[in-house]
Amino acid sequence: MYVFSIKISKLIAYLSEIAYKNPVRSALKPVQTLIQQAVDTVLPPRCVITGDIVDRQGMITAHAWSQLNFIAEPQCTKCGIPFEFESFEGMTCTACLDREPPFETARAALKYDDASRDMILRFKHADQIHVVLAFVPWMEKAGAEMLAQADYLIPVPLHRWRLLSRRYNQSALIAHALSRKTKIPTLVDGVLRTRATEVQGYKKAVERHKNVKKAFAVNPKRVEQIKGKNLILIDDVYTTGATVKECAKTLVKAGAARVDVLTLARVVRDDLDF
C-alpha cells in the first residue's frame, strides 16, 4: 500500500510538471488546462508557507505573504544588497568596491530568511511548483531595470545527475514563468554545467568560489546567439554569489554584451563574506 501511494504521488507530481512547467503550443492548451484541473482536484494547491489550501490565483495566504521580507531601496547599485541607512545615488557596498563583480547588476525580490526559506525549500524539494506563478510579479518588480533591456533569460543549470534526482531545475521553472509573462525568451541550455559540484550548503564563501570554479561553460550551440546580447541569469537564491559570478564570467568571456542576475531571494547576513 505504501509503495502504491508513493507511485500515485509520483504520477501526480509528474502530471503537475506537465501541467505547469512548459509553455505549450496553443493547440495543446485545452489539454494542458484539463490536466491542470485534474491535478488541482487530486492535489489542491497549498500555500507553501502555511500549508493551507489556496486557489491558483492566491497561491500564498495573506498571512504568509505578510511574513515575507521584500528587498527595497536603499541598496547597493551593483549587487543589490539592502543598506540599513540612507545612501546616495549610485552607491555600492564595500564588497563590490573591493572587487567588482563580473555581472552588471544583481537583484533579488526577497530576503532569504525563515519565511522565504520554507517557501523555497518546498518549491525545490516538495513538488510545490505551482507557487512559481506567485514569484513572477515579485521578480518583475525587483528586476524591472534589467528586464527592460534583456534579450534572453538564462537559468543557472543543474548538473544532470542532480537533475535526475530532483527531476526539475527550479531555476529553469522560474525562468520559464518569467519568460511567459515578460515575453523575453529563455535560453534554457545557454550555460552548461561541465562537472558535478558538491552541494554549496554549509560551505564558506571562499570554499563556495573554489567549488564552482570552471564548473560552467557556454553551450557551443548557443555561442553565436548570445554574442553581443544582454542576458539575465536566473536562480532561486543568491547566497555568496559564487555560482552566478562564475556563470556570468563564462558568458562575458563568450561575448555577451551584458550579464545581470535576478534571483527570487538573497542572503543578506553580512557574516557570510560577500
Cβ-in-10-Å burial (0-12, 13-18, 19+) of 211 comes to middle
Written as nine digits, the cell of 71 is 528587498
Candidate list 19, 71, 78, 218; residue touching Zn ion; CB under 5 A: 78
Considering only 76, 129, 134, 234, the residue that binds Zn ion (CB under 5 A) is: 76
* Window 93-152: residues binding Zn ion (CB under 5 A): 93, 96
Nearest approach in angstroms of CB 98 to Zn ion is: 10
Cell of 239: 547566497
Q: x/- string (CB under 5 A) for Zn ion, residues 152-191?
A: ----------------------------------------
Minimum Å distance from CB 262 to Zn ion? 15
44 three-class SS: coil
Contacts with Zn ion: how many residues (CB under 5 A)? 5
Alpha-carbon distance of 21 to 70, in angstroms, equals 25
Q: Measured from the CB atom, is 96 or 191 closer to Zn ion?
A: 96
Select the span of 54-62, 79-87, 119-127, 140-148 touching Zn ion (CB under 5 A): 79-87
User: Minimum distance between the CB of residue 10 and Zn ion, rounded to whole angstroms?
Assistant: 42
Comparing CB distances to Zn ion, the nearer of 88 and 202 is 88
C-alpha 100 chain-centroid distance: 23
Grid cell listed for 13: 507530481
Please give the Cα distance from 270 to 264 (Å, whole number): 19
Is 135 or 274 the residue whose CB approaches Zn ion more closely?
Answer: 274
Phi, psi of 181 (to 5 degrees): -80, -45
245 contributes a contact to Zn ion by CB under 5 A: no
In angstroms, rounded to a whole number, what is the distance separating the alpha carbons of residues 267 and 264? 11
DSSP 158: P
Report the residue number, 91 or 217, with the smaller CB distance to Zn ion.
91
Minimum distance, C-beta of residue 79 to Zn ion, in the bound complex (Å): 3
- Cα gap 155→174, rounded to integer Å: 8
Q: Which is nearer to Zn ion, 217 or 252 (CB)?
A: 252
Which region, judged by CB under 5 A, interacts with Zn ion, from 11-19, 22-30, 74-82, 263-271?
A: 74-82
User: Using CB atoms within 10 A of its CB, is residue 38 exposed (0-12), middle (13-18) or buried (19+)?
Assistant: middle
Which residues in this chain contact Zn ion in the complex, by CB under 5 A?
76, 78-79, 93, 96
